[in-house]
Amino acid sequence: MTQPAEHLSSLIEKRLTRRQVLGGVVASAATVSLGCEKKATPQKQQTNYEDLPTGQGGSGDQKNTNASTLGFQEIEHAIDQQAHVAKDHDLQVVVSWGDPMFDDSPKFDANNLTPESQLKQFGYNNDFVAYLPLPQGSDNSDHGLLCVNNEYVSAEIMFAGVEYKTKWKTMTKQQTMVEMAAHGHSVVEIKKENGKWNLVNGKWNRRLSALNTRFDFSGPAAGHDRMKTTDCPDGRQCTGTLNNCAGGVTPWGTVLIAEENFHGYFGGKIDGGPEIENYKIYEVGKNKHSWYRFFRRFNVELEPNSPNLYGWVVEFDPFDPQSMPVKRTALGRVRHEGATTALTADGRLVVYSGDDQADQFVYRFVTTAKCNPENRAANKNILDEGVLSVAKFDADGSMKWLPLIYGQGPLINANGFQSQADVLIETRKAAKLLGATPMDRPEDAETNPVTGRVYVMLTNNNSRTETNHANPRPKNIHGHIIEMIPPEIDGKVDHGAESYQWDIFLQAGDPAKEKVKAKYHEQVTEHGWLSCPDNCTFDAKGRLWIATDGATNTSGFGDAIYACDTTGEGRALTKQFFRGPVGAEICGPCFTPDNKTMFAAVQHPGEGSSFSKPSTRWPDFDENIPPRPSVIAITRHDGKRIG
């Protein structure tokens, strides 16, 4: 029997007693190629991973931030009804829930929501954001497609008279269908004119929804008996996508969207049957919606296999609105957060993803085939064949990728796996049997385009109980960030290697409070520290931009975007750049190719209040309109690059 894996907190404790990890890092690198095209080869990094200097994080009165290469003046920790950005920057709302997307879209009417209108309007609670230049394959920073996940809805703010705690019992079928129509993904064409971004009702505009969009399955689990339902009789095509959180873009320009908290959409009697262990592992039915009351495919009593149709990474082509989106089962079934890509040294595609729950794992998928830089169509199905692995972090600073392959190690018939399809449908079970390291809610994972290092956002883990002298945080309410360091082959960063190095980039929380054990650069200010890192991105210089989710609950101020250097004297010196309105989570930061616009998603503004008495009416501030989740664009007054 496989021994229980050592928890990541224990490993952190060992590593922080062995060495200090947060000081300046000396690195010299040209841009790493993350696409199919040929780019500059990174130079060998000059970092000694065993002898990094100390950077513990300073007290609240330290104001000298000269070590940072970031030129903006940071904003303060606070919380109010507005959104705020650093001085000398402009903030524009580009698109909001309910905005028309097509020539025949009805005007938004908060008091007359219908599923028919919602399917032609921008979806709710925007999360992942990607900007894809037009024409396809160009680096145009003034005209492109905005591809946005619509993760879920806040029904108590969306509808009058709906209460948060009892909404699944009281919502009508009409309201439920509106809710389903607002889920999924929205593709909108946008164009920058006279310094402002405008929506275009273009031919690429598209809505993917949980209500009526059909999705193909591909890969080892497609067609398996455990994937067959009334809605999906052959196990190869189903209706809907659920709770899409973070995502990614492939080098050939398709979009990957990750189905996260699918477990809460199912109801019915859950007390037996062949999938009962599967239900328990994924907590199916724990957070109920009203959907199962009206739609058979969400009632596990009638359709016990239905939850197996969700929890996958979905690929679709935003440049072909008629194409069928595909759930790629080779990448495994978990509560996916993120699906970001990189390349191995020999040109195969890598997809990194986290499983967003306390004590779950970090995953990597490596394709068998190489990415073809000359033929976009040749990459169409390469995500169907490859090796899915899970991360095991060791105390000596090394980490291993453990392959999830049927018939190897504990992944055998005796443990309930009859095929590779079973391994992928029950990825969590397989990963635990292999001895993967339980993590503190692994969410987004992004690759630094300059150094090739991979940064994993670990939002928090309130249930952690173990303590020790080096890192006494029995409940990691603030979260931290892990830095995964692939090796090099002939001067190229190799994301396909079996073993990496790893480090702690920062530990979040208030560094002025000794008991928190936060760790940043020593010059971090009283407004520069953060809590609950969630999503992230990098600018062209390899600086990290971090979006948070949950800071209001843990620290009393609004969720925000922070930025910092990842190398040099300003490593881990975080500065607050943008702050959202009360109740909002900040998601999906991304840049245009010229780095002159940052897009970000402001999700669920006013959360915790109600339709009739919202805590904010951002962004409209109209008494007839509730708060609306929106995508914003941030630019500088002088038109130069952000940061």
**Local structure of 85: helix, strand or coil:** strand
Q: Chain-wide mean pLDDT for the chain?
A: 89
Same domain, 404 and 472: yes
pLDDT category of residue 464 using cuts at 50, 70 and 90: confident
**Local structure of 46: helix, strand or coil:** coil
- Whether the CB-CB separation of 603 and 123 falls below 8 Å is answered with no
What is the dihedral angle through the alpha carbons of 131, 133, 139, 142, rounded to the nearest 10 degrees? -90
Kindly tell me if the per-residue pLDDT of 57 is higher than 60.
no
Same domain, 246 and 285: no
Q: What percent of the chain has pLDDT over 90?
A: 82
Single residue among 310, 343, 372 that ends a domain in this structure: 310
pLDDT of residue 183: 98
pLDDT of residue 23: 38
Kindly tell me if the per-residue pLDDT of 217 is higher than 60.
yes
Q: What is the mean pLDDT of residues 577-606?
A: 98
- Whether the CB-CB separation of 336 and 360 falls below 8 Å is answered with no
Same domain, 304 and 397: no
CATH code of the domain containing 144: 2.120.10.30
Q: Which tens digit of pLDDT belongs to each residue from 472-519?
A: 367 899 999 999 999 999 999 999 999 999 999 999 999 999 989 899
Residues 6+ apart with CB under 8 A from 362: 352, 353, 354, 355, 390, 391, 437, 439, 442, 445, 456
pLDDT of residue 471: 32
pLDDT of residue 54: 29
Q: What is the mean pLDDT of residues 573-589?
A: 98
Q: Which tens digit of pLDDT belongs to each residue from 176-210?
A: 999 999 999 999 999 999 999 999 988 999 999 99
Same domain, 228 and 359: yes
The DSSP annotation for 353-394 comes to EEE-SEEE-EEEEEEEEEP-SS-GGGGTTGGGSEEEEEEEE-
Residue range(s) defining the domain that contains residue 204: 8-36+54-260+311-636
Q: Which tens digit of pLDDT belongs to each residue from 300-329?
A: 999 999 999 999 999 999 999 999 999 999
Kindly tell me if the per-residue pLDDT of 52 is higher than 60.
no
pLDDT category of residue 373 using cuts at 50, 70 and 90: confident
Same domain, 342 and 444: yes
* E strands in 307-453: 313-316, 326-328, 336-343, 348-355, 358-360, 362-370, 386-393, 398-403, 439-440, 442-447
Same domain, 487 and 562: yes
Same domain, 420 and 319: yes
Query: Is residue 48 one of the residues assigned to a domain?
Result: no
Kindly tell me if the per-residue pLDDT of 129 is higher than 90.
yes
Same domain, 186 and 321: yes
Single residue among 283, 310, 337 that ends a domain in this structure: 310
Same domain, 414 and 315: yes
Kindly tell me if the per-residue pLDDT of 550 is higher than 80.
yes
Query: Is residue 17 one of the residues assigned to a domain?
Result: yes
Same domain, 523 and 617: yes
Single residue among 292, 310, 328 that ends a domain in this structure: 310
Q: How many domains does the chain have?
A: 2
Same domain, 493 and 600: yes
Query: Is residue 49 one of the residues assigned to a domain?
Result: no
Query: Is residue 490 one of the residues assigned to a domain?
Result: yes
Q: Which residue has the tokens 């303060």?
A: 76
Distance CA 110, CA 122 (A): 13
pLDDT of residue 462: 85
pLDDT of residue 336: 96
pLDDT of residue 88: 97
Please give the structure tokens belonging to residue 392.
Answer: 């095991």
pLDDT of residue 5: 53
Kindly tell me if the per-residue pLDDT of 279 is higher than 50.
yes
Kindly tell me if the per-residue pLDDT of 13 is higher than 60.
no
Query: Is residue 166 one of the residues assigned to a domain?
Result: yes
Same domain, 193 and 298: no
Beta-strand pair 326-328/214-218: parallel
Q: What is the mean pLDDT of residues 366-387?
A: 95
